[in-house]
Every structure is written in C-alpha cells, then in structure tokens.
C-alpha cells in the first residue's frame, strides 16, 4: 500500500453526541423509507459495502447487520481482520444505511440490508488511492457463504484529483452490476454558479450526492458541479456513533448513506416487481424515478431529492383524478 495520503474524509461537523436515543431519524423519514417498510421493503438480501473508517462491530444497532469486513489501512498493525472504527465517521454512515434499532436506538433507511465493512481510512480519516482501489475490488469479488454479493458501494470520501486506476476500479464495479454512491464534497461556497469537484464523486459513472437540510434547503457547504445526480438530507443527521452511542453530524458524507440505503430498497423492490435481477443502469433509473426537484440548478441538486414512493403516490393521485373528474 502506498504510504502517500491522497484521499481523506470529506470534512464533517459533529453537532452533538448522545448516550442513548430511540427514534426514526428525521433524515430517514425525509427520504420516505418508512413508507417502503410498510410494503415489506427493508433491504433484505441486499449487501452494501461501506468504504470508510471502519465500523464499531458490536454496536447494538449494527452488530446484526455486518456480514463481513476487512482492513486496508496501516491501523491495528495492518491486521486485515480488524476493521473496527477508530474515528467515528464509518459507524455513523453505517447506521444511516442499515441501523436496525436492535439496541433501542436508531433505524437506518434499509434496516434489513447487510453491511460489508471495508476500512480504507485510518483513525485520522486519511488513506491512499491504493487502499481505496483495493477496497473497491474486494467489494467486487466478495461472496457471502450463501452466494451473497455486493449490490451497492457507499463512499463518503474524496480527493482533489482522481487517478486512472481509481477510475478503472469504479468502472469495473459498475460493470459488475454494483451501484456506486459517492459524496459530492463539502467545499461548496454557497454559490450555485461556481463549481467544486472531488473524486471519486465527480466521475460520471458514480451516483454523486449533494446535501440539503431537513427543510429541503441546499446546504451551503454542498459542492456544485456538472456530475451531481441527486441530493439527500445532510444537516444534523442522527445516527450511530462509537462507544455504542449516537451523534448528529453534518456533511455530504451524511447525505450519501441515505441514498445508498434508498438504492438498496429500490433494488429489492424492482427485482421483486420485474421477477429478475436488474442491472446497475436499471437500478439508477429506478432511483431517479423517485426524485423530486427542489428548484435549484441541476448542478446543485441533480434530479432532486430522493423521496421514495413519491412516484407511486403521484400515480395514484392521477388515477383518482381520472376516475372521479374525467
């Protein structure tokens, strides 16, 4: 592994830490996940790989969701089997995707999804492109004991420049049918007419996520660029935190796992309805069908806020109007 530190956590803010909580976080509600749960879509059978700082393996709300993991950093004397989180960021991301509330804490967007933890960033939130690439290929090649494979990769990290090898790894993941969900970055200057790019988020092949607050207002820190695909809640986001605790964080890093969780639900639903497996391109199309424009530039919000079941509710409304007022 290269010793050069090229990739880092996208800066985030820890707003508060709690010893305990018991609720469905506002961000999870905002993307419409509970409406999917009512139709029995909770991510069962979908594996999401998290490339981050690791994860607290025994967190009460996560321990039953982790299906495997590997360390690609110099932490823990390079022990490949120790993927525990010594930063906090990865544990928070994991809870937003798939916290199951077992510990009486929080529910993530896809509380029955399974998590493959790839620790590619160290305790300070730094890593190398080599480590990220290794993590991507591990996710591509990983198979569970029952034949499970990764369907979604979440990367809430970035560097100022990409590399050909990183881009190739992203392309190989997409070719393997994996949806790659990446944070847009927090270098935004609160001006929609200036662009900021971070990689791998800025690669066209990934689904790049910007952030809005819980009222749907574009977050001042969210990067604007030509590759933004959609936005998710990323301000004051409650999720799991090391020490079996909970915390509220802000950043596009927090918006990204909301959409990764949504993608897990979308894949589960689409494959049941089509009665077959779907491709990465089909999964992306199904996700975008669930977006709602917020009135910002495409370079700020992409297709809009992901709001699950919005399309189905709109269709029901149209049918109601036709049947009663035609």
For residue 233, give the DSSP letter. E
- Catalytic site residue 167? no
Buried b (16+ CB within 10 A) or exposed e, 101-119: bebebbbbbbbbbbbbbbb
Buried b (16+ CB within 10 A) or exposed e, 40-63: ebbbebbbbbbbbbbbbeebbbbe
SS3 323: helix
CA gap 163, 128 in Å, rounded: 11
CA gap 109, 308 in Å, rounded: 10
**Active-site pick, 59, 75, 89, 179:** 89
SS3 203: coil
CA gap 214, 204 in Å, rounded: 27
**Active-site pick, 156, 250, 253, 300:** 253
Cα angle, residue 137 at apex, residues 67 and 72 outer, rounded to 5°:
70
Q: For residues 255 and 302, is the Cβ–Cβ distance under 8 A? A: no
- Catalytic site residue 26? no
CA gap 138, 141 in Å, rounded: 5
- Catalytic site residue 89? yes
Residue 3's contacts (CB-CB under 8 Å, 6 or more residues apart) are: 128
Q: What are the E-state strand segments in the chain?
A: 7-9, 13-18, 47-52, 66-71, 114-119, 126-127, 150-155, 157-158, 179-183, 207-212, 228-233, 237-241, 245-250, 291-292, 305-306
**Active-site pick, 6, 52, 122, 130:** 52
**Crossing angle for the helix pair 252-274 and 280-288, nearest 10 degrees?**
110
Residues belonging to the active site: 52, 89, 253
């Amino acid at each position: 592994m290269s010793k050069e530190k090229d990739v880092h956590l996208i800066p985030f803010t820890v707003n508060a830490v709690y010893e305990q909580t018991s609720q469905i976080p506002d961000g999870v509600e905002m993307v419409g996940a509970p409406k999917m749960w009512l139709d029995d879509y909770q991510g069962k059978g979908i594996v999401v790989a998290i490339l981050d700082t690791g994860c607290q393996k025994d967190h009460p709300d996560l321990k039953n969701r982790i299906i495997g993991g590997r360390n690609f950093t110099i932490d823990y004397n390079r022990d490949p089997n120790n993927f525990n989180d010594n930063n906090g960021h990865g544990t928070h991301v994991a809870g937003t995707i798939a916290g199951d509330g077992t510990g009486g804490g929080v529910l993530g967007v896809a509380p029955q999804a399974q998590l493959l933890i790839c620790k590619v960033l160290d305790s300070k939130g730094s890593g190398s492109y080599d480590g990220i690439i290794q993590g991507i290929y591990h996710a591509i090649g990983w198979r569970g004991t029952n034949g499970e494979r990764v369907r979604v990769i979440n990367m809430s990290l970035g560097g100022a420049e990409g590399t050909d090898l990183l881009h190739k790894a992203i392309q190989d993941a997409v070719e393997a049918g994996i949806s790659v969900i990446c944070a847009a970055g927090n270098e935004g200057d609160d001006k929609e007419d200036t662009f900021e790019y971070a990689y791998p988020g800025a690669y066209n092949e990934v689904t790049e996520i910007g952030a809005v607050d819980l009222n749907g207002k574009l977050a001042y820190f969210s990067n604007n660029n030509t590759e933004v695909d959609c936005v998710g809640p990323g301000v004051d986001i409650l999720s799991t935190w090391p020490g079996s605790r909970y915390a509220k964080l802000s950043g596009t890093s927090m918006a990204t796992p909301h959409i990764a969780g949504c993608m897990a639900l979308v894949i589960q639903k689409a494959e049941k309805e089509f009665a077959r497996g779907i491709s990465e391109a089909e999964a992306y199309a199904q996700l975008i069908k669930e977006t709602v424009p917020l009135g910002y530039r495409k370079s700020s919000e992409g297709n809009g806020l992901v709001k699950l079941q919005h399309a189905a509710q709109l269709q029901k409304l149209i049918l109601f109007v036709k049947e009663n007022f035609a």
